[in-house]
Amino acid sequence: MTSIRRCAKKTATLVAALSAFIPLSAHVSFENPDINTRNHVVFTVQHDIPGSPAYRTLFLADAAKSNGGAHAKLLSCYPEKMELLAGGGVLQIRNRYGTARYSVNDASLAWLSRTDTVPADAVRLEPQAVSPDGKWICYVRKTTFANGELILKNTATLSEKVLDSRADFSYEQVPVLWSPDSSTVAYEKAGVLYFCDPKAAFQQVQMTEEYRKIGKGAIQALCWAGDKMLFYIDRDVVYKINANELFTRGLYAPMVGSGIVCGRLPLAFDSLKDRFWVNPEGNELVVVQSDKMISAYSLKLADKNGQLYLPVLYALPFSDTRGSVVDFKLFWQRGKAPVLWADLIALDDGSHKSAVSRLGAAPTPLSLIDDAGYPVLSPDGTQLAFSSGESVFVYDLTSWKNRARLDGERAISYIWSGNNVLFVGGVSTVRRWAMTPVQTLVATAASGDGDGVIGTQTLFLSSGARVFWNGDGAIRAADAVKAGVFYDYDMTRGTWSLAFSDDTGRAAAAPTVQNGRYRVFVGTTPNPRYDNTLYIRTLTGTVDTKALFPDTAAKAEKRERIALLFDAVDSADGLARILSVLKEYRVDGTFFLNGEFIRRYPDETRQIVASGYECASLFFTAADLTGKDFVVDDDFIKRGLARNEDEFYTTTGSELSLYWHAPFYKATKAIKAAGEKAGYRYIDAGKLSLDTVTFEDSLHALRTAGVQYFTASQIISYYLATVQDGFMLPVSTGITAGSRGDFLYEKLDLLIGSLLDAGFELVPLRSLL
């Protein structure tokens, strides 16, 4: 009982500390309106919404127009996502406001599509798979919470073809694979792999789909090696298909098979969970299975009968004492050993790190990078670009030496244009960076955005600290992060350039809020989704006050609130992914820890605490407390809760909060009452605990009318159709008994994104109680 009293005294301190880690509510606020004599108003809108990047957007509006917000012009374009189209001639930028395109030839920015209001929800952008030549895009357009249409789109004409009317939706990848020469796209449809010629698809001369079949599996069962070799793994058999033979083999697959058999793997390849890569020469294959085992095989000896196992070059478990694996990427260079990039969640503080090594029988560590952005390979396969802190680095893949570096601001997205040019989208600006051989290019605060440094050019602003009138007709903006740096706006091109003058005094001065005809001001709003809104008051004739964006001043219901619970009973398989997604979305969650989990995974237990999440009790044993193996009385429950407290404190030096639930949510009224006597509040979310139901449970349920098995996508759809304000949604960190086709933690990003899209607010558990 001593530990329970100790827990009660420290819970308040723990809750206060946790509150500092994660934003608990959304904020959309209008700031610093400035009006000129022509009735034109410039202002900023700040977004800080969990689930989306936080930034300010710059606007220009006309106070004299009715519903002027619908006609407001976006002056900045935040690079949440960027794609290069038309052979490098067009840079596409996507964010919560819509899609814009920058023309390299015209040096101009124009919006292709955009909202006519200020988004108040977390707008999570879908990924897009662009062909290497930039002529085609594939993406999944959501039609339900977990599914959508797989679209093939012509980037020039914007015409579309539906490849799959019911594709699984993901915020991480599109289920397609483009050939290096852009002539073919392979895609996944209902567990079967097909290929498509994009030109033939739009010219209506494509063969019917049944003759374009590759085989069964997910898109991870395919890999291109060079321009003309496609490799396919069907369970344990590895096939090689020449790109020129795709249509022939599609027509005669029942007779000639799926391709040339290279041999067999010793273990079956799971295309839903495993990944593989083949070198450019097509003679070596690396497989990562279950994010744990890395194996390399020789493909030099093809076996027509498919009976020979591929020769093993090396096989080793991946282990890094610095963190838990979230994801792997592998990069080949012709004639060289591959470079493995492993994204980790650090065990000591829960931060993102990336461990880079050169694979081989004895892997060679190369780098450990803090908070690295995604790595991008140059078109010729010789260089790797990635971000870290306020810099973008380019490393030579052969020597792993830093070839070039661009400083100045944190990068959000970046993309190669040729082998020596990068478009870099940062928190302040989007720049074109032309690298010169063996030269480090550094943009410092003194040179502002890099225009003063050889090889860099500011194209337009991503965001800004403030926008104001420089005279009566010229617009100037202050850099989003660097003091004393300013930019001038080009009304014709929609772009920005560095202003070579210090406007600190003008930027610090109070904005002009009235011009004799109108007054502009930021005021309160009855809409709880906005902190405030921007009003226009007419000062002549009929006095009138209206919101620039009417919907921001319209009454609306408060967001319904949901809490996420993470149950850690006896497996940590999904923990790294859970922590990574929570950090990416900037949302909260409560982890219920069982004593079995704490004893098996002390490092992971400390990792949860170091990541800043609230921890509660899932009892000291994983046994069914309602079973016949225990005599469950008040003393048993009190001692079990106390023991779990002590083990958690000994492991982490921290206290559990005074929430608990029984293993598998199986508890009687007497068990719950016993917990209350021990000072605990029981959390009952058992009716929504669906992701621990196994195939074996489902078979038993057929006989006993028990719980039905649902896939992860079906669980998400059920949650979204069922949840209401105050609901608590449980997600397991993994199970050790029984089997499932997939786990909810594997699609946690989709669950969170769907909840945010539906207008829910994800809050800490304590906010609901």
Q: What is the mean pLDDT of the chain?
A: 88
pLDDT band at 9 (very low <50, low <70, confident <90, very high): very low
Segment 165-176 shows an average pLDDT of: 94
What is the spatial distance between Cα 30 and Cα 45, in angstroms, rounded to a whole number?
Answer: 5
Helix, strand, coil % over all residues of the chain, rounded to 5: 20, 35, 45
Type of residue numbered 677 = K
User: What's the burial of 308, exposed, middle or buried (CB within 10 Å: 0-12/13-18/19+)?
Assistant: middle
- Percent share of the chain, pLDDT over 70: 90
380 is written with which tokens?
């010729």
Closest CA to 693 of 675, 728, 718: 718
Q: Check residue 7 and give its pLDDT.
A: 38
Confidence (pLDDT) at 303: 66
Residues 519-545 have a mean pLDDT of 93
Q: How far from the centroid of its chain's Cα atoms is residue 621's Cα?
A: 35
For residues 177 and 123, what is the distance between their CA atoms, to the nearest angstrom?
A: 26
Least confidently predicted of 77-81, 248-252, 345-349, 708-712: 248-252
pLDDT, residue 629, reads 74
Give me the amino acid identity at 726. G
Please check the confidence at residue 450 and state whether its pLDDT lies above 60.
no
Q: Which pLDDT band, with edges at 50, 70 and 90, does 712 fall under?
A: very high
Secondary structure letter of residue 553 according to DSSP: G
Q: What whole-number distance in Å separates Cα of residue 179 and Cα of residue 47?
A: 38
The answer for residues whose C-beta is within 8 angstroms of residue 208's C-beta and 6 or more apart is none
What b/e string do you get for 612-625 counting C-beta neighbours within 10 Å, with b at 16 or more? bbbbbbbbbbbbeb
pLDDT of 58 above 60: yes
Q: Which residues of 78-114 are buried (b: 16+ CB within 10 A; e: fewer)?
A: bbbbbbbbbebebbbbbbbbbbbbbebeeebbeeeeb
CB 522 within 8 A of CB 46: no
Mean pLDDT of 406-435: 94
The pLDDT of residue 1 is 37
Q: What is the pTM of this model?
A: 0.89
- Give all strands (DSSP E) within 243-390, no chain letters: 260-264, 275-278, 284-289, 293-298, 312-317, 323-331, 339-346, 352-358, 364-370, 376-377, 383-388
Cα-to-chain-centroid distance, residue 300? 38
Give residue 452's pLDDT: 43
| Alpha-carbon distances of 248 from 241, 245, 257, 457, 509, rounded to whole Å | 11, 5, 11, 48, 72
Asked if residue 2 has pLDDT above 80, the reply is no
pLDDT of residue 13: 36
Q: Is the pLDDT of residue 128 over 90?
A: yes
Q: How confident is the model at residue 93 (pLDDT cuts 50, 70, 90)?
A: very high
- pLDDT value at residue 228: 84
Mean pLDDT lowest among 511-515, 568-572, 697-701:
697-701
The SS3 of residue 319 is coil
Edge-to-edge strands, sheet with 129-130: 129-130, 136-142, 147-154, 160-168
Residue pair 524/30 in contact by the 8 Å Cβ criterion: no
pLDDT at 542: 82
- 457-505 per-position pLDDT tens digit: 999 999 999 999 998 889 999 999 998 899 999 999 999 999 977 776 6
460 - beta bridge partners? Answer: 430
pLDDT of residue 386: 97
What percent of the chain is predicted at pLDDT more than 90?
Answer: 72
